[in-house]
Amino acid sequence: MFNVTTKTMQWGEETLTLETGKVARQADGTVIATLGETSVMANVTFARAQKPGQDFFPLTVHYQEKYYAAGKIPGGFFKREARPTEKETLTARLIDRPIRPLFVPGFKNEVLVMCTVLSHDLVNDPDIVAMIAASAALTISGVPFMGPIACCRVGYEDGDYILNPTVDDMQDLRLNPDQRLDLVVAGTKDAVMMVESEAYELTEEEMLGAVTFAHEQIQPVIDLIIDLAEDTAKEPFDFVAPDYSELFAVVKAAGEEKMRAAYAISDKQERVAAVAGVKAEIIEGLSDEQKEDANLGSALKKLESGVLRGDVVKNGRRIDGRALDEVRPIQSETGLLPRTHGSALFTRGETQGLVVTTLGTGDDEQFIDALHGNFKSNFLLHYNFPPYSVGEVGRVGSPGRREIGHGKLAWRALQAVLPAPTDFPYTIRVVSEITESNGSSSMASVCGGSLSMMDAGVPLKAPVAGVAMGLVLEDDGSYGILTDILGDEDHLGDMDFKVAGTEAGITSLQMDIKVAGITPEIMKSALAQAKAGRLHILGEMAKALTEASEFSEHAPRIETMTVPTDKIREVIGSGGKVIREIVEVSGAKVDINDDGVIKIASANGEAIKKAYDMIYSIVAEPEEGKVYTGKVVKIVDFGAFVNFFGKRDGLVHVSQIENRRLNHPSDVLKEGQEVKVKLLGFDDRGKVRLSMKIVDQETGEEISADKAEGAE
């Protein structure tokens, strides 16, 4: 019934297996990839014909994590997987980015790639396995795909690169100073296609070394996919890229000079209008048959690309007249909004972000329900890209894949410089509202986010800036690297290369390459040029703010204290009775975690102190030989019980009340009376022994032995 083909290899410390022929046999290509005990099924289907009039490539990638893969049942009322999580959305983008440029140019048939996590061993992250499975499924499907690709994850610890570190190794890198990198690299046999990373101030040389290491490590995986394809690949789909050279010649002759003049306009809105006018003029001069040609859109785009790219490489001239390594004018401003905790307006040319920081308490942390377990995050960054930012109208709804992806990139860049939660116990939410866009708005979010958090009083380790780089690579090998690219340079160039970091090093690197053939030399040059751009932007940002400002009067104050874990139950009390009393009496918000870290929050400093003292009295131990002020709570024949330390009582024996013989303790004491006592110690049964007679009841000072004897 089944014609199963399996290929296996040892990859690092795990076994990688590719299998096809048993499951989902009606898909054009299906591969189940397994690394350790993490398995992902990738299914590929594609349409056999292009939709009429379609002038783009409709590739859709879905990545789904099934809770059963980790032996879990979904939370929520409906108990089934619902809308994609942030991890699923980001992984779908991760798979899409390196495979999209590898389809044969001109192929515009609809393609669907679905990756489903079937098993998760909580050690090997399924995102890497999914990309390998998707590449293998595409390679055997018959679709015109110029792969295969493979990918891996790289860590960096003690100067050594680590292949495919575990899920736990990559969790909360900010709290693990030894692990400095979470890098994902995808590539073909000859070239790197995609890089995504979270780093902790690595140098350009260290990052380039990590990318090179990754490309070397994926080579045997590519060989394994080729081995699978040699046995199982379907006949290639009969596709010949359309020849529209005659149409392009007509379009070029009619509009090249006008298009060049339109692209010489530096203002974006005017340029967009001029380019649209040139296109309309070109189309108007075409015959009816040429107007109906499905390749007209491709011919026009090729004309635009040729105009833009030719000037960059041959003349070193860009659309807006800048030099290749020149950053647009920058204006930074902080403290714009009076009631927010922190705000910044960062403007770079025609790209602008209004970034706002809000500080919250432990109650505001985000709970994340992931396959490998539930955890909380105290740093949130949300990115919004409304239509008006590019002068357009459009539907406004929930965040799309692009907004989630750009927000995560900015999150990665900034979280590397955040203070430890024990030093700064706030939940931090940064919201980037992109108000103008022509170029990298994610990097504007990084710059504005850094300024906004410093304006809110967040003690960042160092300011962070980001810059978007571009590349134009010609067939003869000549190239031009562009600093701070415009939107058009991104769309028509060969590489989108975003680098964020501090003066000391890189905190995030994202690279998408649209052509094969990016050499290490080009990458090295791009990183060096990006560093110069980043340092320039940091200098411009410093004109607005160089370090954390004073706390906003509207932000909550939080203090932390750590108690022994065996005291947590005492602080909480039966059914939460004690902690509720602390909150009610003090007026502060109190949050305690399983490690014994307690956060006390309030806008009122007195409320924080009161809650702190109440908790301290519960968990602290009295010190032998120290003098305390207490209150008489009970008088008995043989002495008096005094509440002297929180809820702790001790006995003052009748012989320790005064330096004279008393008939009864009530001769000098009454319940509720405030007294000063010295802790003498503990008896054999652990009972507290106190003394009044060796303490001056007026001053609280201990009476010397000589004075005590003289009084007797």
DSSP-assigned states of every residue in 423-477: TS--EEEEEEEEEE-SS-HHHHHHHHHHHHHHHTT---SS--EEEEEEEEE-TTS
Comparison of pLDDT for 515 and 671, the residue scoring more? 671
User: What average pLDDT score do residues 408-434 get?
Assistant: 93
**Confidence check: pLDDT of 63 > 80:** yes
| pLDDT range class, residue 711, cuts 50, 70, 90 | very low
Q: Of 211-215, 606-610, 653-657, which has the strongest mean pLDDT?
A: 211-215
Per-residue tokens: 28: 């054009």
Q: What is the DSSP letter of 329?
A: P
| pLDDT range class, residue 704, cuts 50, 70, 90 | low
Q: What is the pTM of this model?
A: 0.85
| pLDDT range class, residue 17, cuts 50, 70, 90 | very high
| pLDDT range class, residue 348, cuts 50, 70, 90 | very high
Q: Which residues contact 318 (CB under 8 A, 6 or more apart)?
A: 311, 312, 324, 482, 486, 489
**Confidence check: pLDDT of 311 > 80:** no
User: What average pLDDT score do residues 454-468 get?
Assistant: 95
Per the CB < 8 A criterion, the answer to whether 476 and 489 are in contact is: no
Choose among 364, 508, 339: nearest CA to 429. Answer: 364
User: What average pLDDT score do residues 426-446 get?
Assistant: 95
User: What average pLDDT score do residues 173-180 get?
Assistant: 86
Write down the pLDDT at residue 705.
53
Mean of the per-residue pLDDT values of the chain: 90
Write down the pLDDT at residue 709.
46
Q: For the chain, how many residues are written?
A: 712
C-alpha 359: how far from its chain's center?
18
Write down the pLDDT at residue 52.
82
| pLDDT range class, residue 701, cuts 50, 70, 90 | confident
How far is the C-alpha of 248 from the C-alpha of 40, rounded, in Å? 44
Which phi and psi (to 5°) does residue 416 adopt?
-65, -20
Write down the pLDDT at residue 306.
81
**Confidence check: pLDDT of 34 > 80:** yes
User: What average pLDDT score do residues 171-189 get?
Assistant: 90
Write down the pLDDT at residue 268.
79
**Confidence check: pLDDT of 32 > 50:** yes
Comparison of pLDDT for 677 and 31, the residue scoring more? 31
Write down the pLDDT at residue 699.
83
Percent of the chain with pLDDT over 90: 52
Write down the pLDDT at residue 710.
42
Q: How many CB atoms lie within 10 A of CB 178?
A: 10
**Confidence check: pLDDT of 712 > 50:** no
Comparison of pLDDT for 32 and 368, the residue scoring more? 32
Write down the pLDDT at residue 469.
93
Percent of the chain with pLDDT over 70: 98
| pLDDT range class, residue 472, cuts 50, 70, 90 | confident
**Confidence check: pLDDT of 466 > 80:** yes
Write down the pLDDT at residue 517.
65
How far is the C-alpha of 542 from the C-alpha of 369, rounded, in Å? 39
**Confidence check: pLDDT of 707 > 70:** no
Lowest-confidence region among 211-215, 469-473, 702-706: 702-706
User: What average pLDDT score do residues 232-242 get?
Assistant: 91
How far is the C-alpha of 342 from the C-alpha of 359, rounded, in Å? 9
